[in-house]
Chain A
């Protein structure tokens, strides 16, 4: 089955810096790619999703890059602020019915 690896497990940046999180996956049939944010005591919040025909998507200070050749997905938070501090998960799916999640990245943005 699909294996998803996410790195780094912890990331600390200063306010205004960028933060990059990377996931790799194994199934070449993977067609749906997404990023979730989980704040303490809250549910998972979808940040952005892309289909396999998209290489790059930008939205509200977030950039998702998809490299299908290397089976790599990344999330770039440009100009991070303290409110971005949370745990971030990538999630991928072959058919959109079942999501496979990475292990999470705890992001801390220091003022």
Chain B
């Protein structure tokens, strides 16, 4: 079974530039999460979907961040105008929403904003 796939693995931007991160969850997983992990900190939830619907995006900075999952499979997280404070690893995770199912994480995209 393939794991959660993310691309790119690394991104380096100047402030003000835009970037998109892509996630392919495990087949059959209806729930998908995007977490932000700043250096030397734990992951913090940005947004999560069940199928194509956004369930919780309350922690997503809506002025610059957006996330979609149009067909309930792959997802894209976009930063419109990056700031240095966005420097972090962006983790995607997926889950089949059944009792006792576990969460699987991708390797993440490491973003550096100069």
A and B bind: yes
Interface range, A side: 10 to 19
B residues in contact with A104, CB < 8 Å = 40-42
B residues in contact with A44, CB < 8 Å = 43, 91, 93, 105
Given contacts A97-B55, A98-B56, contact A42 B107 (CB under 8 A): yes
> CB-defined interface of B25-65 with A at 8 Å, one 1/0 digit per residue?
00000010000000011111100100000011000000000
B interface secondary structure, majority: loop
Given contacts A43-B108, A49-B102, contact A99 B91 (CB under 8 A): no
Report the number of A-B residue pairs with Cβ-Cβ less than 8 Å: 43
Partner of B45, one of A43, A46, A99: A99
B residues in contact with A102, CB < 8 Å = 42
CB distance from B45 to the nearest CB of A (A): 6
> Number of B interface residues, CB 8 Å?
20
Contact of B42 with A6 in the complex, beta carbons under 8 Å: yes
Contact of B41 with A103 in the complex, beta carbons under 8 Å: yes
Interface residue ranges, B against A (CB under 8 Å): 3-4, 31, 40-45, 48, 55-56, 91, 93, 102-103, 105-108
